[in-house]
Amino acid sequence: MGLLLMAYGTPYRAEDIEPYYTNIRHGRRPSDAQLADLTRRYQAIGGSSPLAKITREQAGALDRVLNERQDEIEFNVYLGLKYIHPFIEDAALAMHDDGIEEAISLVLAPHYSKFSVKSYNDRAISKADELGYPKISPIESWYREPQFIQFWSDQIQKVYSDIPENEHDETLVVFSAHSLPEKILKNGDPYPEQVRETMEAIAARGRIRHYVQAWQSAGKTPDPWLGPDIWYVTRELYRKEHYKHFVFCPIGFIAEHLEVLYDNDKECKAVVEELGAHYHRPNMPNSDPAFIDCLASAVLKKCNEGRKILHG
């Protein structure tokens, strides 16, 4: 059984930034100013993102766990990236060349949107259909996995343990996910509701009293994107409630990368410190064993749906 693990991708080196950005812009080269801005952001987090290394670690760990948890199917994990090599189509071709006739696809993003997850799966299935096989069965979302909710609840509790107990009522948890264009709402896209559901589940599990949802990392396009923006929410709730501690939980992401290390740890932190409050961010899932187990459970459930033979 093939497992096509798909992710956004990130530049490996400085010289990758221009072709990577060009791919994001559907073949249109970014302006010099746009290129300089993105390069500056990468330089601000140390020159490059750790995302490529983390994604490879996740793929290797998931391959190992899936094959350790059951012995009825041998899984082979293939990595396909959206905007840099190895591309999604490269992974589909590799599966085909290895004689894989059946595969499951999993996008390393917990929430479904036609704008995001569907676009990954469409590319994979289109290439596989062109080749004749493998037959790909996509996992559309996995945000309800109990281990995913538990992971975030545990990480938030660790943050709370570092905050004086008498200041817990002056602590706000800000749950966020990547904003998407507002136009997704016209067709009833489930993405915003899935993010809200995730927030509510984590808050209930962790018995979090003060929390809010916000959107981050909106694209710089003329079209409106989902809001409210994370900076606006932070400033408004500080103004109204004077929270001393802000705990930022980017639950739409599953690894440290540019949007977390820069948008949260640089920009959000600067806003919080400007207000005179304290910035906190829990650990990201990365390749934490509990998170890898969560992904493995999602894959095995998908197998059970189609084959009814796995009981792990």
Q: Per-residue pLDDT tens for 221-251?
A: 889 999 999 999 999 999 999 999 999 999 9
Parallel/antiparallel/unpaired status of strands 211-216 and 2-7: unpaired
Residue 306 has pLDDT above 80, yes or no: no
Give the model confidence (pLDDT) of 100-144 as tens digits.
999 999 999 999 999 999 999 999 999 999 999 999 999 999 999
* Residue 129's CATH number: 3.40.50.1400
- pLDDT (mean) for 196-212: 98
Q: Which domain holds residue 100?
A: 2-142+288-307
Judge if 12 and 128 occupy the same domain.
Answer: yes
The strands making up 278-280's β-sheet, listed across from edge to edge, are 211-216, 171-178, 245-250, 278-280
d(CA 197, CA 166): 29
179 and 53 within one domain: no
Query: CA of 302: how far to CAs of 79, 114, 236, 285, in Å?
Result: 18, 20, 42, 21
pTM more than 0.85: yes
**Number of domains comprising the chain:** 2
Q: Are 187 and 86 contained in the same domain?
A: no
What order do you get walking across the sheet with 2-7 strand by strand? 76-81, 2-7, 102-107, 135-139
Report the pLDDT value the prediction gives residue 307, as an integer from 0 to 100. 64
Mean pLDDT calculated for residue range 143-158? 98
Q: Say if 226 falls within a structural domain.
A: yes
**Can you tell me the distance from the alpha carbon of 140 to that of 43, in angstroms, rounded to the nearest whole number?**
34
> Taking residues 178-198, what's their average pLDDT?
96
Retrieve residue 113's tokens.
């949107």
- Taking CA atoms, 271 is separated from 75, 235, 274, 278, 280, in Å, by 45, 8, 5, 10, 12
- The number of angstroms, rounded, from the C-alpha of 279 to the middle of its chain's C-alpha atoms is 21
Say yes or no: 130 and 188 in one domain. Answer: no
Query: Does 159 lie in the same domain as 42?
Result: no
Is 167 a member of any domain?
A: yes
Half-sphere exposure of 210 (CA within 13 A, CB side): 18
Q: Is residue 312 part of a domain?
A: no
Residues 152 and 186 in one domain: yes
